[in-house]
Amino acid sequence: MAGATGRLGRHVVDVLAERGYQIVPMSRATGVDIITGEGLAEALTGVDVILDVAAWHDSDQEAATEFFRTATRNLHEAGRSAGAGLVVAASIIGNDKATAGFVASQQVHEEGHLSGPLPARILRAAQFHEFVGQLLDWRRGDVAHVPALPTQLVACRTVAETLVDLATDPEPPARPDPGTPIPEIAGPRRETMAEAAQLLGARRGVKVVAVDGSGLPDAEIAAAGAFLPGPHAELAGPTFREWLDTQP
Ligand SMILES: NC(=O)c1ccc[n+]([C@@H]2O[C@H](COP(=O)([O-])OP(=O)(O)OC[C@H]3O[C@@H](n4cnc5c(N)ncnc54)[C@H](OP(=O)(O)O)[C@@H]3O)[C@@H](O)[C@H]2O)c1
C-alpha cells in the first residue's frame, strides 16, 4: 500500500488491519520509494492488490504531475512483474474540470492508472476533514485567510473504508466503461471551507477570515460547485463538526 504513512494512508492501514488483511506499508519512511523504485520490487512480492494513496507534498502542478506520472508507471510495472492483479487509487472529485494546481495533477494520476497494464479502480474523494488544519498551519501571522468556496468535506476514515471496499470487491476488475462515472465519496454536508476552518480556528484559538478565493487556481469554477460531489456520489458522515468533536 503506497502512501501508508499519509493522512489517508494511515486510516487505510487501520481499516485493512481491522478486516484481517495482510499489509505491506510503502512510503519512503518504510524504505520504499515509488519514484526511484528503491525497495519497490521487494515490497510488491506476493501482493495481490496495490492501493495507491501516495501524494506529492505541495501544490505545484508541474511537480505534482511529474510525481504522479512516474509513480503510476512504476507501480504498474513493478506490480505486473510481481503478479499483482489490481491497483486501487485515491483521486479528487472534480479534477477533470481543474486547470491548475495539485487538483489538476490528478488527471495524469487517473490516466496513468486507467491506461496502465494492470486493471485499476479509482475513488474520487472530496477534501478531507484532516486537510482543514493544514489551511490554518499555512497562515502567515495570527490570522488565517481561508476561501469561502463550497466543499463537502469527508473524513479520511470514511474514504479509507470505501477505498478498502473497492479494493476487496470480489467482482472481477473490468476496464471502466467510458459512460460509467468514476465512484465518488464525500461528506453529508455542504459548507464553505472558511466555515469549517472557523469551527477549527475557534478550538485552536486562531482567527479565521473568509476571503473570496480570487487569485487561487480555479476559484471561479470552484465557486460554481466544480469540486462538489456528483449525483452518483456516496455521501457518508461524520460531518466536519461531528468529526471535530471526536478529535483530542
Ligand atoms: N488531502 C485531501 O484533502 C485530499 C482529498 C481528496 C483526495 N486526496 C488524494 O488522496 C491521496 C493521499 O493524500 P494525503 O493527503 O493522504 O497525502 P499525504 O498526507 O501528503 O501523504 C502522502 C503519502 O505519500 C508518501 N510518499 C510521498 N512520496 C513518496 C515516494 N517517493 N515514495 C513512496 N511514498 C511516498 C508519504 O510518505 P513518505 O513521505 O514517508 O514517503 C505519505 O505516506 C492523494 O492521491 C490525494 O490526491 C486528497
What share of the chain in percent tops pLDDT 70?
Answer: 98
Is residue 12 in contact with ligand 1, taking CB distance under 6 Å? no
Centre of ligand 1 from the C-alpha of residue 3, in Å:
5
Lowest mean pLDDT among 38-42, 128-132, 169-173, 180-184: 169-173
Instruction: State the distance from the centre of ligand 1 to the C-alpha of 89, rounded, in angstroms.
Output: 11
CB neighbourhood size of 21 (10 A): 15
Ligand 1 pocket, residue 222 CB under 6 Å: no
* Structural contact between residues 167 and 121, judged by C-beta atoms closer than 8 angstroms: yes
> Which amino acid is residue 25, in one-letter code?
P
Residue 133 phi, psi (nearest 5): -60, -35
Render pLDDT for 219-234 as a digit per residue (tens, 0 to 9).
999 999 999 999 999 9
The cell for 195 is: 466555515
Alpha-carbon distance 161 to 204, whole Å?
A: 28
Alpha carbons 175 and 194: distance in angstroms, whole number: 39
Pairing of strands 143-147, 207-211: parallel
Q: What is the pLDDT of residue 116?
A: 97
How many Å is the Cα radius of gyration of the chain? 18
Beta bridge partners of 86: 49
Q: What b-and-e string marks burial along 69-87, b requiring 16 or more CB atoms within 10 Å of the CB?
A: ebbbebbbbbbeebebebb
**In the predicted model, what is the mean pLDDT of residues 65-74?**
98
Q: What is the pLDDT of residue 173?
A: 58
The string of DSSP letters for 18-71 reads: HTT-----BSGGGT--TTT-TTHHHHHTT-SEEEE----SS--HHHHHHHHHHH
Strand order, beta sheet including 234-235: 49-52, 86-92, 120-125, 184-186, 234-235
Q: How far is CA 25 from CA 11, 148, 165, in A?
A: 12, 37, 18
Confidence class for position 175, pLDDT limits 50, 70, 90: low
Residues paired with residue 144 on neighbouring β-strands, in sequence order:
208
Lowest model confidence (mean pLDDT) among 82-96, 161-175, 194-208:
161-175
Mean pLDDT of all residues in 36-61: 96
User: What integer pLDDT is reported at residue 159 of this predicted model?
Assistant: 98
pLDDT digits (tens, 9 = 90+) for 122-156: 999 999 999 999 999 999 888 999 999 999 999 99
Which run of H or of E encompasses 211? strand 207-211
Residue 230 CA to ligand 1 centre (angstroms) = 24
Q: Which CATH number fits domain 9-246: 3.30.360.10, 3.40.50.720, 3.40.710.10, 3.30.2310.20?
A: 3.40.50.720
Ligand 1 geometric centre to CA of 8 (Å): 7
What number does the ligand 1 atom closest to the CA of 54 have?
24
Is the pLDDT score of 172 beyond 90? no
CA distances from 124 to 39, 91, 171, 225, 241 (A): 28, 4, 19, 15, 22
- The pTM of the whole model exceeds 0.95: yes
Where do the domains of the chain lie?
9-246
